[in-house]
Structure 1
């Protein structure tokens, strides 16, 4: 790993015991295709931070204090096992001493290099559009709705003030569900209410494949986002009407299906 003195960027990941398999796979795939960066892992669970893989591969392991989040109303996402913990993503906006924090969700697989994500510059925030966004009766959204799974956070918006602002919006203006709830909804509200400049990344920097039907469309994919069901949580079925959905799950496990790229073992 590069030392902080020789790197302008750091990779920031958020994990817990449920997401540890995804975090390990993300870091392994990232290190295969990217220049070495200091890796900072955040978690509210000390046991997760003691994971031997994280101890070996991460520059810093930082515990999250859950107290400031205690009065933020959890959003009730159906079948979610995390709820309020997703708001801990706000901690990725902390000042860790780098020009840019590169945040990736722990359900992302890196398939190729990501030069646009690593590029220097003073733009406060880089992110890709949320291609799955749909207006609801309660939330019409904005001209641009980003997906918060991939973020390049510039120094201008790093620090305690940004974290406190995000917490305040989550506390005082929560969504009722769907796209205006959870960390992503709060980040989008903050962007538009505070006039945060966003540079859009190409779709291949956050390709969301919720259905896991096959590996088509991955020829140019750089960061594959397993939104929805997580591949390390077991097989998923389409009820009684079809076979288990396996192709992209196998890509996550093996790293060879569809691209020929070895992801390695964790």
Structure 2
């Protein structure tokens, strides 16, 4: 199974065949519940449209059996892994006991779900992608950035960007020029993982590490682990995980220039293009872009 399955059935189309991204050694992985099925399908439409890893196997991690009833998801996924047993107990306990905001229990459980990827796969590498994203152009350079490094990820945008050298920081992040916490705080929405971490032993290692400390969220715990293991991680330019809520801080020409150079845009945070809370910013090109890809996904929604 793959995105190509949907293309062959005429449900999605490739529009940009000149700059496709092909890599035979990568599994695509996603983690979500049925509430995110719609944006997952729009994400698939963006990947198909830009020819991003359309032939690669897909694994979906979930704790929601309703996903199993979705015919499109069943068609595209090679494997749907429903969280259960000891692994479920471990991740749910971390979501409850090892984050500073346990009142966000449902959200915490959803974010820790992505740690399920740390298991043996059928390929040497795995690319994890959040589903509140779009791929806008080739990700070849991301995949070839540091193949021997166990983890490649992008920084979590820091709050000081909003008040300190905003435009310079936004440009630097796009190009991979990082400072302060951007050197060590990751956003786990995009993780390129090689076989060194694709094992039960690493799952046990990272969850044991997390169980002994408290952080603001799941990716905070990941950041702490890799801060102590710097040789295991490579930070990629934020063009491969650019957070829309910060993009909106840019004005006029800079906004347009940044958007034109983003390969993966991430609608992280509470405002989502598919929710009514985005109506006040519906005129912005990044929001319009999501709806354009939603139109391309109409046959699978």
1:105–1:149 CA contact under 8 A, matched in 2? yes
2:45–2:293 CA contact under 8 A, matched in 1? no
Distance 1:25 1:196, change over 3 A: farther
Tell me how large the CA RMSD over aligned residues is.
Answer: 2.9
2:155–2:183 CA contact under 8 A, matched in 1? no
Paired residue for 2:276? Answer: 234
Instruction: Give distance in 1, aligned partners of 2:106 and 2:272.
Output: 12
Instruction: Give distance in 2, aligned partners of 1:172 and 1:254.
Output: 45
- Give the C-alpha shift of residue 77 in structure 1: 7.4
Instruction: Give distance in 2, aligned partners of 1:233 and 1:89.
Output: 23
- Give the C-alpha shift of residue 206 in structure 1: 0.8
- Give the C-alpha shift of residue 197 in structure 1: 2.2
Kindly report which structure 2 residues correspond to 1:136-215, keeping only aligned pairs within 5 A, or say none.
143-175=183-215, 181-210=216-245, 213=248
Instruction: Give distance in 1, aligned partners of 2:273 and 2:68.
Output: 22
**Does residue 109 of structure 1 match 2:134?**
yes
Q: Structure 1: state its 5+ residue gaps.
A: 176-180, 238-243, 257-261
**Does residue 245 of structure 1 match 2:269?**
no
TM-score, length-normalised on structure 1? 0.80
1:212–1:249 CA contact under 8 A, matched in 2? no
SS at match of 1:156: coil
Instruction: Give distance in 1, aligned partners of 2:293 and 2:40.
Output: 15
**Does residue 254 of structure 1 match 2:266?**
no
- Give the C-alpha shift of residue 41 in structure 1: 0.7
1:9–1:118 CA contact under 8 A, matched in 2? no
1:14–1:42 CA contact under 8 A, matched in 2? yes
TM-score, length-normalised on structure 2? 0.72
2:150 to 124, 131, 141: 124
Paired residue for 1:22? Answer: 39
Paired residue for 1:7? Answer: 24
- Give the C-alpha shift of residue 130 in structure 1: 2.0
SS at match of 1:147: strand
1:14–1:105 CA contact under 8 A, matched in 2? yes
Q: Of Structure 1 and Structure 2, which has the larger fraction of its residues in helix?
A: 2
Distance 1:54 1:186, change over 3 A: same
2:90 to 62, 68, 93: 68
Distance 1:71 1:231, change over 3 A: same
Post-superposition CA distance 1:144-172 (Å, at most 9, x none): 22211111001111111221222223322
Instruction: Give distance in 1, aligned partners of 2:130 and 2:240.
Output: 12
Q: Which moved more, 1:65-74 or 1:25-34?
A: 65-74
SS at match of 2:123: coil
SS at match of 1:210: helix
- Give the C-alpha shift of residue 9 in structure 1: 0.5
Instruction: Give distance in 2, aligned partners of 1:226 and 1:70.
Output: 25
Distance 1:73 1:150, change over 3 A: closer
- Give the C-alpha shift of residue 97 in structure 1: 1.9
**Does residue 85 of structure 1 match 2:110?**
yes
- Give the C-alpha shift of residue 196 in structure 1: 4.5
- Give the C-alpha shift of residue 80 in structure 1: 7.9
- Give the C-alpha shift of residue 111 in structure 1: 0.8
